[in-house]
Amino acid sequence: MSEERRKYDKFPLEVRQYIDAAAEAGAERAIDKLYSEIGKTGVRKAALILGAILAGVLSWFGFGGHLPK
pLDDT in tens, 15-55: 889 989 999 999 999 999 999 999 999 999 999 999 999 99
Note the pTM of the prediction, 2 decimals: 0.56
Position 48 scores a pLDDT of 96
Residue 6 has pLDDT above 90, yes or no: no
* Cβ-based neighbour number of residue 19 at 10 Å: 12
Domain boundaries, the chain: 3-64
- The Cα–Cα gap between 46 and 41 comes to 9
Mean pLDDT over residues 3-18, rounded?
A: 78
